[in-house]
Structure formats: structure tokens, C-alpha cells
Structure 1
Amino acid sequence: MPGPGGTIQVNDAQVEAAVAQLNGNIATGEQLLKTIQTQMDNLTQPGGGLYLPQFSASFSSNLGNYNAQLTKMIDNLKQYGTACTNALQALNQLDQSLAKSMQGH
């Protein structure tokens, strides 16, 4: 947004706070997904409640697919967080370079 004098101003503290909040949210999401994965794994072990159906080839295949997709989702969440952090850092660098180029004008 244009600031005083028509220049673009980025509040560095707000950018850093946004990055920190994003990283915290991603870490929380990642932990929740890992907890779900662990709980499902525990349920499908002997005595876990879902162990008997595991003898079904279809169930085993679907369980394997579920675990693979959940693992991909966790990995994608990490990549998304990295991409967002990089974009916010690039915005911060853009702001700094713009401020330097505007000095003396």
C-alpha cells in the first residue's frame, strides 16, 4: 500500500511476526497429522482394535495408501511453509531495496 509520499512501506516487525505465526501453525498442523498417523498405526497393531480386518488384502492396501497420502500431506505442509517463509522474506528484501532506491529522491 502506498505510504506517506507515495512510497511502499512494509512493516518489518509485522512480516517477521507473520513468518513466526505461519511457522507455528505449520508445526502444529504437522504434529497433529503425525499424531493421527501414529494413532492409526497403533489401532492396526495386534490388540489395537482394527488388527483383524488387516488380514483383508483390500484393507491392507487401503491402509498403505492412506499412510502414504498422509506422509505426502505432512511433507507438502513443510514445503508450503518454506515457500511462504521465502515469499515473506522476499517481500522484506523488496521493501529494503525500494527504501534504498528511494533515498535522496
Structure 2
Amino acid sequence: MSGSELDPEDAKIVTLARGSRARTGAAEGAAVRDTDGRTYAAATVDLPSLQLTALQAAVAAAVSSGAPGLEAAAVVTEAGTADEPSLAAVRDLTAGATVLVADPSGALVATL
């Protein structure tokens, strides 16, 4: 299933995640949509004093902006899945949020 076959709102967060990854050249890009419909995008953070997966960074951006919860999240990665720390960050905020995993082309590879 390609990004064009996704619900338009889900396709939007996959596109935002792809853009974050491409802009920074990071291993992963991610985006989340909060329960108010606002979106937050981020890429992997790998500094000597701070390491965050792209999903952790996107969730942190949402939380720091006052997001009450998440509807959905997307991660663009070559890994084919989201790692446990990334999923934990999403689930900490909203246990039932959909997590979309896409490859670098934007093709959906998993829904968690």
C-alpha cells in the first residue's frame, strides 16, 4: 500500500515524516497527529548528550506543545518496524494510537 492509498490525514503524517528524514539525512523521520488535529514532525536526534528516536522526538514536540493525546503516528525507516522505545513513547501518551511504519519511499510496510 502506498502513501497515496492511505487516509489523507495519515498520508499527511507519512509525508511529514519523510520530509523530516530527508531534510536532516537522519536514519528515521517521524510525525504525530494529536487529538486536536495538530501535527508535529521530527527526525532522529543523535548528539553526545541526547539520543532520541524520531518518534520519541515527535512525541516530545507534541507533549511540549500541550498535546492532550495522539490519534496517529508515522515513522519512515529502512528497518521495516518501529523499535520498542519509539512505540513506548507513543503508548505513554495514548495507548491506542495507530502507528504507521513506512519505507523511505513512503510505502506503508506495517500498521502497529
TM-score (norm 1): 0.26
Name the structure where helix makes up a greater proportion of residues. Answer: 1
Which is bigger in relative contact order (C-alpha 8 A, separation at least 6)?
A: 1
Q: TM-score, normalised by structure 2?
A: 0.25
Kindly name which structure, 1 or 2, has the bigger radius of gyration based on alpha carbons. 1
